[in-house]
Chain A
């Protein structure tokens, strides 16, 4: 990625001051960490999120699970404090340390009361966790065993099995193909050196996005951001991931001792930066993103009683993320349900939404916009996403305009550009009787 390019955008944005429901302040620390801040005094709390390009797509090929394990170990011993001491310090002041982890992103979140004693203790712990993780060997071995157990446990869940197979089928050799949690065989071989090397390479300030919302002043936010960034490892900014290639059509079936088949269908979709994002997002509301208000739900659930849920979504990522359509149905009617879903999708790709469907989609999305930013937690997540994916600072301000600007032709064209009905990947997990 290019910091420079972002800077150019940033200058333009700062020149045109924002005035929206959410006033996002933005700056950069001397080390290159980008900071996003919303001052909010309604509640005596402070939320912080610090995110890095350190998700599972950054795993070396033969070390699948390294990113996940590194992330899991951050708060399990740091700055000379043991895992228990860290947990005690946070709990003593009612602070909650959490995390984000997916293929793109690894991050740490902190929620604390904004009163001085509590805030100080919580921040002190966060700084240690981010800047001085010790990765004690015994703890690493323990957490690795736990991670492997959770991977094994999930093998009983047909939904998880289907999800993993879907990404493998879709992304082949691309890093997005790898499971977020890794592979037990690879995890077993990881050394403490692997973990600390991964940390040093990926958790540097130039890769950091610091988001804050809560009852603090701008100057305090600056001081906190500076403190969070200045002790991070001196890592260079990371290269972009390779571009995924479109998958070829395939159908993969896995036997599983479940009473339902889990069906996933999809294709390589779009990156977060894709100009087609809004037409696809709005159009997908009508297809399978609008819950009971969507075609898939109507066809698969309401009309035929085939499934409890049927959905579709685009998951935009740093590189093209997946388009996914999913349903679960009892074994005997798997093929029938798949056919309904497939023809619903194909018809939508061919014809796009009706005028009425699009009006409905836009009404819901724009009318429901206030619900997307009605809590600090939701705004924090938007700050992190805006920062991590280099979205414009006025993203929230212009969101409803962008939705309103979408018309049926734009949806049809965007779907045609990104989804080829002849190149869909299908994964079915269920009893072998499914085929």
Chain B
């Protein structure tokens, strides 16, 4: 075990608080990051695996997420259901999430219950049992989850189809939850393969945040995870996205009352955090467009022109793969999607040709700085950000110095980023064409509680 670096950094002048961070790698390659925060006698513990939907192959999309579900289904020493039960009995909250880039498991508990969390996580990292029977049941649950979150949500369908359009080759084109037909033909063996492939200590990071002592956390980690052997990980081949060479446009039909517009431009993500400038500029650009209730999209499209009832911009600079800069909007009654799209393009053109004002830039920066302080109110979110950064290949230092990098962005940087990246040839547009909801029949009140099966 070698200590890479540990440092203390006062995040903000005038604060009574300093963020202390420890970053250590165990002999088996598992990384341990400890973030001290002594505001309350609690801690959050998260295990991040560097394996997400991006690592899947066609035919088994969704397997990263299905495996996440199976991770609660038991080991030889911890029978099915027992993991959740033990955490609950200790007063803990636990869950997991799968993203495109990673899969993460977490427990939030009183600070002195960290050992339980580590013991159980280490056990299921190495000894998971995936039975055919439990797999079959859980797969049904996952299909219900897909129906709930995607099939019956028109805007989610638009998002899913737009991703599949904007990315042509890169695996980001596939939904994290998987295509329904892949789920229908998935087997327990697919899940076992995935587990054997990626669930190794040298592909994982433990992030612990809270009222803890870093030396004790590292000692505990060494005790519980240290004995698990490192394994050879599959080679990750670079998966580039060929440059888009012309605008793409799709129409999605779904039962809905209102149309909806989603636009996405290919954009870079943060790779060399010290030298890159464009991702920070794009982040500020998103703030100028929709960072507050007076930002450009809201002010122009919703309030002044009243073409939209909602409009917002989004961009995430932290990702393993290539990024997207997105704008979505719902047209106001009687306004067309086409008119709305035209107005959005006009707003962007205005920034590309005339730039942004100093007041706008300062306003967005004030929000960035304040938000950085506000985030420290949430222990979970602080751990979450650390996990995201390191799981996408960025050092914790990139997170700690993010505000400083955002502060350095100039109005010219923002204009240049808009000119360079928000170009027609990189754009994909999806439009929701609402299909009439069938009129609801009269209410049929059936007296009596026993309805017929």
Contact = CB atoms under 8 A, between A and B. Distances in A.
Given A153-B330, A156-B257, A364-B91, A44 B12 contact: yes
A298 B81 contact: yes
B333 A145 contact: yes
A183 to B, nearest CB: 14
Given A43-B373, A328-B144, A371-B109, 8 more contacts: A45-B377, A145-B332, A252-B444, A258-B255, A302-B137, A371-B93, A371-B110, A375-B40
A374 B40 contact: yes
A67 to B, nearest CB: 20
B449 A339 contact: no
Interface stretch (B145-153, B165-173, B417-425): B145-153
Contacts of B16: 41-42, 44
B443 interface: yes
Contact of A149 (B93, B309, B453): B309
A157 interface: yes
B373 A44 contact: yes
8 contacts: A45-B377, A94-B371, A95-B370, A113-B370, A291-B84, A291-B88, A293-B88, A363-B88
A217 B16 CA distance: 16
Interface stretch (B228-236, B286-294, B318-326, B337-345): B286-294
B91 A155 contact: no
A364 B88 contact: yes
Interface in B399-453: 434-435, 437-438, 440-441, 443-449, 451, 453
Interface of A: 41-45, 75, 83-84, 86-88, 90-96, 111-113, 115, 118, 142, 145-146, 148-150, 152-153, 155-158, 161, 165, 169, 248-260, 290-293, 298, 301-309, 328-330, 335-336, 338-339, 360, 363-371, 373-377, 421-424, 426, 432, 435
A87 B141 contact: no
A192 B156 CA distance: 36
Interface string B300-329: 001100100110000000000000000000
A305 B42 contact: no
Contact of A363 (B91, B142, B435, B451): B91
A95 B39 CA distance: 22
B239 interface: no
B40 A308 contact: no
Contact of B377 (A165, A367, A377): A377
User: 6 closest Cβ contacts across the A-B interface?
Assistant: A367-B91, A94-B370, A305-B140, A87-B294, A87-B293, A374-B40
A260 B366 contact: no
A300 to B, nearest CB: 10
A335 B453 contact: yes
Contacts of B449: 249, 251, 421-424, 426
A426 to B, nearest CB: 7
Contacts of B294: 83-84, 87-88, 91
Question: Which range contains the number of B residues in contact with the other chain?
Answer: 35 or more
A306 B140 contact: yes
A263 B332 CA distance: 32
Interface in B364-406: 364, 366-367, 369-371, 373-374, 376-379
B91 A88 contact: no
Given A94-B369, A253-B444, A424-B449, A374 B154 contact: no
B217 to A, nearest CB: 18
Contact of A92 (B366, B441, B446): B366
Contacts of A307: 141, 144
A371 B444 CA distance: 44
Contact of A91 (B254, B292, B303, B434): B292
Contacts of B92: 364, 367-368
B258 interface: yes
Contact of A368 (B93, B154, B255, B309): B93
Contact of A157 (B80, B110, B152, B447): B152
Given A153-B256, A368-B93, A256 B440 contact: yes
Given A93-B366, A111-B374, A255-B440, A293 B84 contact: yes
Report which residue of B80, B140, B376, B449 has the largest number of chain A beta carbons within 10 angstroms of its beta carbon: B449
Nearest to A290: B88
Interface string B241-271: 0000000000000111110000000000000
Nearest to A154: B257
Interface string B67-101: 00000100000001100110011111100000000
A415 to B, nearest CB: 16
A250 B91 contact: no
A260 B139 contact: no
Contacts of A364: 88-89, 91-92
B393 to A, nearest CB: 30
Contacts of A169: 445
Report which residue of B17, B80, B291, B440 has the largest number of chain A beta carbons within 10 angstroms of its beta carbon: B440
B91 A113 contact: no
